[in-house]
Structure 1
Amino acid sequence: MSNNDVIEREIKVTIVEHRDTHLLVAISNDLSGLFVAGRTIEQIERELPTAIREVLEANGHEVYSVTADENQGQSRDFLSRTILANAVLNARQQRGSGA
């Protein structure tokens, strides 16, 4: 794999909390179809890279790696939070129209 074959894609993921049930949901305007639900931010962080990989692969991308880190600049007091994910993809391979 050469550097010419690799692209990195940043994906902004928003986590929202239901007021009554406190269920957390991760969604992204940058990656249509991404939806991860959980009871804790730690659970969302564990499941998010796999979910991102699965959505990207379903859209025809060959994925080399996915990382996701909570944006450290945010207060945990707010109901809406952001995680920035990075996906390393094969720049040459894309089946179908993709995302």
Structure 2
Amino acid sequence: MSSKVSDAGPASLDDATRARVLDLLDQQRRRISGLAERVAAGRRALETSTVVPAWRSPARYQFDLRLADLHQRLDRCSTALRAAQSECDRARSVLLAGPQRP
């Protein structure tokens, strides 16, 4: 489910639909939080396993390059998860604000 909710959309939702959408957003938020925790654990594990010896074999050098690439990917994943969490929060706020009456 996309968490994007247009600013005009919530005005047309009945209470049951609004409650269902809020429930789905809460479920999505919990899944995102779980993923963010796993990504953070992976990043911590990478940070503790990174050793920079004075001399590295070619195989170790290639391995370290792969670890650095993985670390960058996990950083990007963390950023994307924070953005998704913010979007869920924004959508939830829009729904909780209720219909905007002129």
TM-score (norm 1): 0.25
Q: Between Structure 1 and Structure 2, whose CA radius of gyration is higher? A: 2
| Greater relative contact order (CA < 8 Å, ≥ 6 in sequence) | 2
- Structure (1/2) with the larger helix percentage: 2
- Structure (1/2) with the larger strand percentage: 1
